[in-house]
Amino acid sequence: MKLHGILPACVTPFIDGRADAAAMQENIARWLETGVHGFVIFGSTGEFPYLEDEERGTILAAARAAIPEDKIMLAGCGAESTERTLRYLREAAAHGVQAALVVTPVYYTRGNTEAQRRYYLDLAEASPIPILIYNVPAFTAYELPVELVLELAQHPNIAGIKDSSNYGRRAVIEVAEGPEDFAVFSGNPNYVFPALAMGAAGSITAFANIIPELMVAIYRAVQAGDMATAARVQVAVSRLHWEIGPLGSPALKAILEHRGFRPGRPRRPLLPLSPDERARAVAAWERAMQAVG
């Protein structure tokens, strides 16, 4: 199945302090009603660095059971050491995950291009499933160089990238200069329409948790050549990001709860929103949703 479309980077529901498989399945069922093309489990929005190993298997199994075969299922498998990432890749493959998101490791390898190259090539050689690079400077505090992305893109087991850079240019270059079948996903909610208009395969964002309808509307409008609609909805998405982006993933959980999903609470040290923040986030979300009538 070709990697494409709108894929929410799903929140992981922590309820009573534990990753809750049943809530995960309920949420997936709700997202399926919005027309999304698949799901990413254990993205940054999924609080993956806070998960215990035993929770990973539970959630993967639950998600796999809830996601129809004709929908895409990706999982974040990045860890700091090559060995642990490989362990997660094998586990994901065993659970029927189609491809893996591998975030750039953060602690020692920031700015170390040679270590980055070896990391991804070692994984690509050994992984039972294809890999998507995951570049997310908001969390890692660095950018994988585009030159290295283009080099890694030549490996047959490196299938694409989720690029959450603020620099929209990156996605354009990765599409234009990468191999034909290298799947570029915009991870920046402000760049979904431009990226799709210029040839990106799709978008994987935190925001697709709370506004999947808007993201799908942008995707469909671009597919249909109706760029004016795509641009109009993008403005609504960008305004929402402007208003609640700084509140982080706790705002997504608050809005999902308001929508009737079961997101649970963020895990410590992330803090839930205050009542005021929550009211503000919900109001901003309601305004944004009017863009799809």
* Interface residue list for its own copies (CB under 8 A): 17, 44, 47, 49-50, 52, 80-84, 105-110, 112, 114-116, 118-119, 122, 139-142, 146, 166-169, 172-173, 175-177, 190-191, 193-194, 197-199, 225, 227-228, 231, 234-235, 238-239, 241-242, 248-249, 267-271
Closest to its own copies by CB, 73 or 214: 214
Catalytic positions, written as ranges: 162
CB of 7 to its own copies, least distance (A): 21
CB of 264 to its own copies, least distance (A): 14
SS (H, E, C) 80-106: CCHHHHHHHHHHHHHCCCCEEEEECCC
SS (H, E, C) 20-31: CHHHHHHHHHHH
Q: How far apart are CA 170 and CA 174, in angstroms?
A: 6
Record the tokens describing residue 48, joined without a space: 């993956």
CB of 222 to its own copies, least distance (A): 9
Record the tokens describing residue 136, joined without a space: 């997310």
CB of 112 to its own copies, least distance (A): 8
Closest to its own copies by CB, 156 or 269: 269
Beta-bridged to residue 99, according to DSSP, are 74
Q: How far apart are CA 55 and CA 292, in angstroms?
A: 36
Kind plus residue range of the DSSP H or E element containing 76: strand 72-76
Closest to its own copies by CB, 128 or 199: 199
CB of 188 to its own copies, least distance (A): 8
117 contact partners, CB below 8 Å, separation of at least 6: 148, 151, 152
77: helix, coil or strand? coil
CB 27 within 8 A of CB 13: yes
User: Any idea which residue has 């570029």 for tokens?
Assistant: 184
